[in-house]
Structure 1
Amino acid sequence: MQQVIGFILEIEKLKGVTRKVKPLGLDRYENSAEHSWQLALMAWSLQPYAPQPVAMDRVLRMLLVHDIGEIDTGDTMVFVQGGWAERKQDELQAVRRIFGLLPAELAEEMLAFWQEFEEGTTPEARYANAIDRAMPALLNLNNGGQSWKENGISYERVAGRIRGQIEDGCPALWQYLEPKLAAAKDAGFFGA
């Protein structure tokens, strides 16, 4: 039990990892822990829109662990260009350290879910990745493009970065987002 408690106390640090977008109605940036929680609820709620049946328990586990490495590496905004291979290598090293606090069998299980999410090859991983890509866009669409403007992110960068994964993992979600992004472009929600 002490190993699990040590892990739980270590992942408390995820609450201190700030992201670049603000929660709706708040004047602070969201943290990675609340982001993961929100994604889990979003994925569960949108399950009827998955393009094929997905094992929701697997999706939720992936979403709960997908950002654990940010405890050591910090958050990287989804719209950043370049350097992804290096960042992902650093995250892998971080999750191995953090999951290594757990008993070996549980550590291996969590690492496997993290890797499945990163590889994005299973229906569950593709769906989970679609949800992860959509949430920052949804927040920006509902807060006047706050992080897009603050960070000089263009419409083309946003659409180019999220379209493929959302279309692949949850086409109905992309069909929902695409016209909203176009309207946001016309409304001046983007930077650069």
Structure 2
Amino acid sequence: MERKLEVNNDGVSSSPQMKMLRFFSMIHKLKTIKRAGWVRTRVSNPESVPDHMYRMAIMSMFIPSSTGVNKNRIMKLALIHDMAECIVGDITPFDNVSKDEKYRREQEAMQELTELAGPEVGQEIYTLWKEYEQQSTPEAKWVKDLDRYEMIQQAFDYEKQENKLGSLQEFFDCTKGKFQNEEIKEWVNELERQRDTNIKESE
């Protein structure tokens, strides 16, 4: 079977397979990007962006089937929602970048990744990313909750790991009152109960 060659902006021929491998290399960059919030608060050995997305994907398996949502779609959303960071980095509110500018940068990054991934896979990835950004489905709303929950779970894990109980309160404060799904709220309540108990026992 003859490989179809295309010519990129530099005049260099590239096949769909070459683009796919380029896409894989771009995704590899995520492994080297540490989550900015943990870097800023100086936790030791901060997690990478895909560390965060992987645990979100695993957490999606624990969503009760009775909710009626598509858990496979939630898992996919979890695995791609921060994909643009392989190009733009982990932009946080402390970077003084407006929401509109952050969205513009990430949209351009996703369009670049979509082109490399090809028409079928690329379109699926871009559609999932837009769905998450626009919070247009129940599945996207679940992923937003998982995103916030995974962060406070990680904060609690770091507090225990470094024996600094209560030191990462800001991450709990910034998610307060923002969870939408009752099941995730139950997870949050149990996490906070365990954390409060540990803090009291350490005093």
Q: TM-score, normalised by structure 1?
A: 0.76
Count of residues in correspondence between the two structures: 176
Q: Percent identity, aligned pairs only?
A: 20
Indicate the residue corresponding to 2:107 in structure 1.
92
Whichever of the two has the greater Rg, that structure is 2
Distance 1:154 1:39 in 2: 17
Higher mean displacement: 176-185 or 85-94: 176-185
Match of 2:138 among 104, 113, 123: 123
Higher relative contact order (CA 8 A, sep 6+): 1
1:177 aligns with 2:192: no
Distance 1:172 1:80 in 2: 32
How big is the alpha-carbon RMSD for the aligned residues of Structure 1 and Structure 2?
Answer: 3.2
5+ long unaligned stretches in structure 2: 1-16
User: In the alignment, residue 63 of structure 1 is paired with which amino acid?
Assistant: A
Distance 1:97 1:111 in 2: 10
1:18 aligns with 2:34: yes
Is the 1:79–1:157 contact (alpha carbons within 8 Å) kept by the matching residues of 2?
no
Distance 1:80 1:185 in 2: 31
Q: CA deviation at 1:175?
A: 2.5
Distance 2:85 2:59 in 1: 21
Q: TM-score, normalised by structure 2?
A: 0.72
Indicate the residue corresponding to 1:42 in structure 2.
59
Indicate the residue corresponding to 2:121 in structure 1.
106
Cα gap change, 1:139/1:80 in structure 2, threshold over 3 Å: closer, same or farther? farther
Q: CA deviation at 1:61?
A: 1.3
Cα gap change, 1:3/1:80 in structure 2, threshold over 3 Å: closer, same or farther? closer
User: In the alignment, residue 47 of structure 2 is paired with which amino acid?
Assistant: E
5+ long unaligned stretches in structure 1: none
Is the 2:148–2:175 contact (alpha carbons within 8 Å) kept by the matching residues of 1?
no
